[in-house]
Amino acid sequence: MIESIKTPPKFDGLNFPIWKVKMIVFLQSLESRVAKEVTKSFSVPTSDEDTWSDTATKEFDANTKTHYTLLQAFNDDDIARFIYCKSAYEIWSHLVVSHEGTSQVKRAKIDLICSQYENFTMHENEFIDDMVTKFTKITNDLASLGNAINNDQKVWKVIRALPPSWEVKATTLKELNDKEEMKHIGLIGNLKIHEMERKAREEMTPQKKKTVAFKSTPTISDDDEEEEEDEDEDLSLLVRNVRRMYNKTKINNRRR
């Protein structure tokens, strides 16, 4: 019965790939036949309902459940866009084209996201949680467009994306993965533990005292002082010699 259907995940027009996955799982929780209604077209039989076969009746009930569930996911303004759709498949197709585009647009999106995946790196001083959030969004977007990334690809990509300061850890992880394939979730847990250990070591390492450089007037070094003293002695000696010569000349003049 339709009354027994629980509230489906609401769609606000954003993050369609995430909502799409949630809605498919919700439909599957109702009944496998219900979830399949978004993948195939449906038309209400034109004959009298009393003459429908059991298969036709079940198909109609499943489509009605799916149709109603999808409408429940939107607010009244959005429902107006789908009011004339006669099946769950029509609504679903309209959503997919609107948010994922035609096959050509979809291909272009895949190429763009694949480029993001190939160029993905973790920045220095970036937290593991932040890196995982960005990486998960990229892989989820690819999966929603039919280009899912398997576990081994995810593991190797994350290891290669680690920054230079994680080089030793990355080498260790590569060796571990060569021996036995790691699970992506296990890899993330391993990285988070290492991140905590790195932080703990940094906090335990005594901070170097910062020295403050003060501006000062030029000072005379020891060498400069010795040099000045030598110059003073030379000058004094010169003055004494000049005096002697002057006195001597003066005395000679008197004798004449």
Residues of the chain by 3-state class (helix, strand, coil), percent to 5: 70, 0, 30
* Cβ atoms of 85 and 96 closer than 8 Å: no
Cβ proximity of 163 and 121 under 8 Å:
yes
Give 174-197 pLDDT, tens digit per residue: 988 887 888 999 999 999 999 999
Any domain includes 239 = no
Is 209 among the domain residues? no
Residues 11, 31, single domain; the answer is: yes
pLDDT score of 210:
47
| Interval 118-157: pLDDT, tens | 999 999 989 999 999 999 999 988 887 888 899 999 999 9
Same domain, yes or no, for 127 and 96? Answer: no
**Domain check: are 132 and 65 in the same one?**
no
Report if residue 254 sits inside a domain.
no
Total-model pTM: 0.54
Sign of CA dihedral 156, 157, 160, 162: negative
Q: How many domains does the chain have?
A: 2
- Read off the pLDDT of residues 29-76 as tens digits, 9 standing for 90 and up: 988 889 999 998 888 888 888 888 998 899 999 999 999 999 999 988
Q: Which residue has the tokens 């850890």?
A: 169
Q: Which residues constitute the domain of residue 129?
A: 103-203
Give me the amino acid identity at 106: K
